[in-house]
Structure 1
């Protein structure tokens, strides 16, 4: 008798046999002890991929590949109290889109009263009590774990710790995990991924049987995971320590994403895939993702641009073309953008070391113009992230200064510390409002002085000194012996940053001589020995200076000069003044300090300046201020790899423009003889007079 079997029936039979075989293998591995760790590398997984492609019965099954690893499983008790470092109570959150999708999908699953009761539970223990009254199905186990995790996310840290301790001691917790382990093969892919994520965040040990069971369940069905399930799985793996099963899953996910990439037509799906990849993505795959994203840039909506910038930060992938596309769209639609999106974009730019002055200026101007709609905390967070970006948001700082002047009492101590740090480090000149602003801050600080710790007081005084403001109350309190003794009780006595702060305060008091009710100085033993870290001579700078100075006998060059045993100057050029040269030749006498000009050449990195400007930041601004008091004329030379001019050319232009009144038009057509004549006119006059 002939038996006819359709191709569809054959596929279903083979698929069932394949799933049955793999499930039996996984069950055996969970309940037995394996003596060897066997894991597949990415190369081996790629080989499996290509081998199975050749044995597929139909082209539609080409991408159906199983990834699994036979790693060692530790037989830890499920109620073990010992937390694995990687399974700490990390409050990882999924993207907002996935959270909303999850909420919607869960709401459609009201197949029993159990779900209605579950949603009213306010703690993990409430959920476990409910499982004692109702026997949850395999599918409802995932809902239980999700509700347990959701309730803990809303708790304070101390309460969360207490509730999780009660959860681990609850007799129903072990039963729930046993039921989850038995039902892993019967859950949907989405439920498996969510269950794994929730268990990790609830502190279930990573090497326990239940977690390893779910890892293998994910491996077996990885090719059937959609974008949402893959994203949830990636969020769970992000907080797990590497082990054979985790590594196999990560490698498998990369292969799945790379295989699906050409078929992606939706921007949101692409962004989900990019987030799944995480930071440890091979460069060639990042470049493929970049090309795919750029090919879809015309489809980017405004939410897509927000999400793409943060996605690149998650991947730690700097793509200038992609960032520029998103930045431009973002700038054009700033109005009405909520705080969280603005803040996330700025934070992402910081993580990626991406700087766009137009984007930053646009956000600063927008926040400043709508400052009344933002809370005090939001404005301070904006100021703080701008300071971290080394960008000076002039409009926002001006607008916020007016707020402080109007109501200084509204600032908390932490607000004051943040505001002082931002305004001093960015060295923003408030001009006519400066004194009012500083006096308002001093008034607000006075009420908090008794509550401050020694380090907080030191930070307040240090930032005030950077601003050139010396209120007597915090200074007197800091310099009291009782306050200084608090630093002596710590080991080490001073942290490096504390010691540098004390040294800066000491120099400000000594060099700037502020008007105080009584003279204040630090004891010599407090600041320590302020010896600057000496670096090697910059050969390019040295060569450029010698070429500019030529063989002038009356001009001296000193390199790596230490001033006040604290400030390091890269080079000092000492040059006689023209009028004093004439007076000396006529028989007059002048002191060396009065008869010469000392030019202090400072080579500073870009981090020493506010981004996009020539404004020096706080510590560099104080250094320049002090050098001027000591009789130097500072000349700043920026160091950087992206300059088209050489170091010597920058130096020559700065000296000529700042000190010898050479215009930029003259510089464009000037010869070397002309420039030398302008720098050293006295020698030119001597040559004209002759012997």
Structure 2
């Protein structure tokens, strides 16, 4: 016997004492190993989810690959092959197997001569063992560089399949991302029809239990992005295996798993996996070290996450505030919106960082911040003003559609920035022809909703918008036409050509029978009212037969009603022009008094004004305008101020509003900033 063979057998003899007799790997014909584990005393303490049928099988971390057909007279039983498990100080071959001829787990042609090629030395046996026996994984990056299409990747797999199969799916997704959308759809169709695709899916399912956990998660993400249906056997197998091995999930895998779950539709396996993720996050939240991982988990953990876990993630984020980068602070808005958790303290702190670093902030980031504020109902005037100031200062570098997008979000938030809106008005007056239909309707909506009036160029702006819209009259939709005319009416402007077309019988019938009919009916009623009451409505349309508006649910302000009842006993007051005498309804002379003036007392919420101002929004401004046209003197009472007072003080407050000489406004409230 040669020295090398003797050395090999000596090492095996020394290590045989370390072998657990109860753990055997049986090799199946396809060349993949399935661990058969027999535990006399299994402790379920570490089992994460009780719902898993198979439990979480322990990982086979160290595999010694080698077959001895005949060594010193010992003959391997035919049809049964065994591998032995070693325990070394370092990981020798962690869950890496290969299905190709070069790195196969077993080979029917293995001989003593092949086995003798493994060179062991006592001084560096571990390193040599690792180098010789660990299969070299296929790099998906290298594969993506060498291949030009998804079919090329599958061709490479069919020629020489190697472990892990995740590399092929990752390479295909890498290629798919760098090509155009049309070509991507075509390539994916070819991928599904490729003869090697089913083979690759089969290998993926067989390798799922021995693959590195992060590779398994990357595979799931790539498979879903490539359009493989979720109800297929492969995807469900991956989901089930990820559940079974969820205890292998480290901090990096938490981030990957959270991202992958976002793309999946609810089903039994997905729901179980999401529940497992939440349990795992709840256990490991204080151990998360990287801010990026924390934010990814928060973003994708789901809006239906229990409030207690949301609070715990919020506290973890607050604890790590000192480590937040500018990008982390900017991203936190979107994270909280995705989790549907309104943390005012966290938002306030991140807002300060955003304000201090506003210059150079990309368009996509700013839009994401404003969208998140809208979804979270978070109003921070300093933040909004900082963003609007930045856009107004750098107005020339922004595209028209980008500025309109900013203004649409500001309108959603109820925030009005006069400087930015004036700059857009100037651009519209200079180049009305640059506006498309979508731009026109959006601009009219913003300016009418926020009731923005610039005395210097308001008339020119409205005429420019009318001219730009008239160009599109021959192909404008009924709803767009209604929305545009409705906006003009709120701004007390009535373009005759647009109203003529809108009031045509076929257009009215279409609006009453399609789309959001309730909203259409409301806007048509507003149009009718404006044409009847507004002095500027020189065009008087024929009566438009409209159905009655549906009764809106009553939301009485009980506190205000009680105050007025204690003060007046009714809500209509008749008094002389000097406001020195109040007339009773039973007083016959009062009905014929020439010096009588009617008052309209409006108790209004904050939402009728632009954010943190007394500038009325469009519908409220129109209501005041119409009340004045009908001869009412309008007195406004802010219900948020009234609610702070006791009953006696509230009555005195209302009395002062009605009788005080200062109650009458000396300026037009419609133009009040």
Q: TM-score, length-normalised on structure 1?
A: 0.71
Is residue 500 from structure 1 mapped to residue 527 from structure 2 by the alignment? no
Distance 2:625 2:170 in 1: 64
Is residue 321 from structure 1 mapped to residue 348 from structure 2 by the alignment? no
Distance 2:138 2:198 in 1: 25
In the TM superposition, residue 315 of structure 1 has moved relative to its aligned partner by 1.1
**In 2, are the aligned partners of 1:540 and 1:648 still within 8 Å (CA)?**
no
> Which secondary structure does the structure 1 equivalent of 2:456 belong to?
helix
Unpaired stretches in structure 1, ≥5 consecutive residues: 28-39, 53-107, 550-555, 559-571, 664-691
- Map 1:510-659 to 2 at 5 A: 510-514=532-536, 516=538, 519-525=539-545, 527-530=546-549, 533=552, 535=554, 537-549=556-568, 557-558=570-571, 572-578=572-578, 592=592, 594-639=594-639, 644-645=644-645, 653=653, 656-657=656-657
In the TM superposition, residue 650 of structure 1 has moved relative to its aligned partner by 6.2
In the TM superposition, residue 629 of structure 1 has moved relative to its aligned partner by 0.7
> Which secondary structure does the structure 1 equivalent of 2:219 belong to?
helix
Is residue 350 from structure 1 mapped to residue 369 from structure 2 by the alignment? no
Distance 1:16 1:514 in 2: 91
Distance 1:452 1:205 in 2: 40
In the TM superposition, residue 221 of structure 1 has moved relative to its aligned partner by 3.2
In the TM superposition, residue 129 of structure 1 has moved relative to its aligned partner by 5.9
Distance 2:334 2:382 in 1: 19
> Which secondary structure does the structure 2 equivalent of 1:241 belong to?
coil
Question: Once the two structures are superposed, what CA deviation does each residue of 1:40-87 show, in whole Å capped at 9, x if it has no partner?
Answer: 9998589x99xx9xxxxxxxxxxxxxxxxxxxxxxxxxxxxxxxxxxx
Name 2:106's counterpart in structure 1: none
In the TM superposition, residue 509 of structure 1 has moved relative to its aligned partner by 0.7
Question: Once the two structures are superposed, what CA deviation does each residue of 1:211-241 show, in whole Å capped at 9, x if it has no partner?
Answer: 1111123223323334443223222222333
Distance 1:593 1:441 in 2: 46
Distance 1:299 1:642 in 2: 44
In the TM superposition, residue 209 of structure 1 has moved relative to its aligned partner by 1.4
Is residue 281 from structure 1 mapped to residue 305 from structure 2 by the alignment? yes
Number of equivalent positions: 555
**In 2, are the aligned partners of 1:545 and 1:648 still within 8 Å (CA)?**
no
Of residues 205, 208, 211, the one that matches 2:229 is 205
Q: TM-score, length-normalised on structure 2?
A: 0.72
**In 1, are the aligned partners of 2:191 and 2:197 still within 8 Å (CA)?**
yes
- Map 1:189-200 to 2 at 5 A: 189-200=213-224
- Map 1:139-538 to 2 at 5 A: 139-147=166-174, 150=177, 154-155=180-181, 164=188, 167-487=191-511, 490=513, 495-514=517-536, 516=538, 519-525=539-545, 527-530=546-549, 533=552, 535=554, 537-538=556-557
Distance 1:393 1:646 in 2: 36
Distance 2:648 2:185 in 1: 61
**In 2, are the aligned partners of 1:42 and 1:251 still within 8 Å (CA)?**
no
Gap change, CA 1:615 and 1:387, over 3 Å in 2: same
Distance 1:495 1:296 in 2: 50
How large is the Cα RMSD of the aligned pairs?
4.1
Q: Which has the higher helix share?
A: 1
Gap change, CA 1:625 and 1:222, over 3 Å in 2: same
Name 1:115's counterpart in structure 2: 144
Relative contact order, CA 8 A, sep 6+: which one is greater?
1
Gap change, CA 1:475 and 1:295, over 3 Å in 2: same
Distance 1:259 1:310 in 2: 24
Distance 1:6 1:255 in 2: 43
Distance 2:202 2:212 in 1: 18
Distance 2:352 2:597 in 1: 48
**In 2, are the aligned partners of 1:361 and 1:393 still within 8 Å (CA)?**
yes
Distance 2:142 2:305 in 1: 45
In the TM superposition, residue 358 of structure 1 has moved relative to its aligned partner by 0.8
Distance 1:597 1:575 in 2: 6
Gap change, CA 1:627 and 1:125, over 3 Å in 2: farther
Distance 2:641 2:254 in 1: 41
Distance 1:14 1:318 in 2: 56
